[in-house]
Structure 1
């Protein structure tokens, strides 16, 4: 039991003072932003502008030009998640995006606002979404049930996907790291090489999961128009 407590202690929001001060790591991304945007434009600045412009062009195609600047909310969402995911890869920094509290707090309000907007403004369009085109009449009641369930679980799947991917990688790295003290010199070198590869993989996962969260949110918003 002691081993399991130590293994999951990196995901514990409370500190030695019995306060949830670890959640402050969520705001650490704000420390990175000022130097990037307010000092002389650097390579990082140009890189970030390139990323945001690419995302803007992609999201604009999905959403359409109905509301100007509507892509900004999804670019901000991507930025917030990618900052948290990356900060979680540094030692002694709490990964807030590995908790369902944070991921559900992002997914649920977005999904609820899309649903409320869609059902109030485009009711017929929303009803039409419940029955895919070309469905035989006998299957229509089943399709309505399936589509309704798939719609309801969307915020849950968004939240769980992000949290589970963050937890899985961190746990694997922790488990491998804990075995280091019991290995020979040759095995330690192999372990370090494996950990570096895992770190590269986790960096890719951090970006991919942020992009998946943002692009799926954009797709869900495009369905209500």
Structure 2
């Protein structure tokens, strides 16, 4: 089982004592960022300020909401890079549980606020009357699969990164028993790729929030 690349994504293979770290660490990081809450400019306030500038002044309360999502996703991604730590963001159950409430909240709010505008958005403007029924079905399906697309995208990127890290680490084990020069070279590659993967963790958190923000722009 240790030779299976996908065994690292099985929570049953992880030590039971490390399991709570997956959920405690992201919460602890957010609390640490809020230690300077009573000063003029805390770390959390800086993130809220950045999201507020990127997404405009129209959605002031939504900036804090996106900041919270960003912190949870980024910290979850980075914790998953630690050896023998369960990667929660590599599972569709976790990513879908993040994307579904945000998407569902926007859809329900749009229907309650303006039902006719939501229906008008499903029907493309200027479309031929004969193609209208087909286009309505296409737009409806594209609307319903949005949370799945966002969740699968995050999961697929994290799974691909972890598989590559496992492959490089397996090469290091082989080099230990063969030649030292190859071990140094593979170790350098692993360090470089881990730094690259940390950047990917940040970018994936940003893209997740950006996609949900773009979906929110369709709110009537």
Report the equivalent of 2:136.
144
The equivalent position to 2:155 in structure 1, one of 141, 151, 163, is 163
- The range that moved more, 109-118 or 209-218, is 109-118
Instruction: Work out the CA distance in 2 between the residues paired with 1:209 and 1:224.
Output: 24
The equivalent position to 1:33 in structure 2, one of 11, 20, 30, is 30
The equivalent position to 1:96 in structure 2, one of 82, 88, 95, is 88
Q: Pick 1 or 2: higher relative contact order, CA cutoff 8 A, min separation 6.
A: 1
CA distances 1:163-185 after superposition (whole Å, capped 9, x unpaired): 11111101111012112222222
Instruction: Work out the CA distance in 1 between the residues paired with 2:129 and 2:17.
Output: 54
TM-score (norm 1): 0.84
Report the equivalent of 1:8.
6
> Tell me, what secondary structure is at the counterpart of 1:91?
coil
Report the equivalent of 2:204.
209
> Tell me, what secondary structure is at the counterpart of 1:8?
helix
Structure 2, unmatched stretches of 5+, are none
State the Cα distance separating 1:198 from its structure 2 match: 1.3
TM-score (norm 2): 0.86
Structure 1, unmatched stretches of 5+, are none
Residues 48, 64 of structure 2: 8 Å contact kept: no
Closer/same/farther in 2, CA of residues 215 and 20 from structure 1, 3 Å limit: farther
Instruction: Work out the CA distance in 2 between the residues paired with 1:12 and 1:165.
Output: 17
Instruction: Work out the CA distance in 2 between the residues paired with 1:25 and 1:94.
Output: 7
RMSD across aligned positions (CA): 2.6
The equivalent position to 1:175 in structure 2, one of 167, 171, 180, is 167
Instruction: Work out the CA distance in 1 between the residues paired with 2:191 and 2:120.
Output: 50
Residue-pair matches, total: 216
Closer/same/farther in 2, CA of residues 164 and 92 from structure 1, 3 Å limit: same
Instruction: Work out the CA distance in 1 between the residues paired with 2:113 and 2:165.
Output: 48
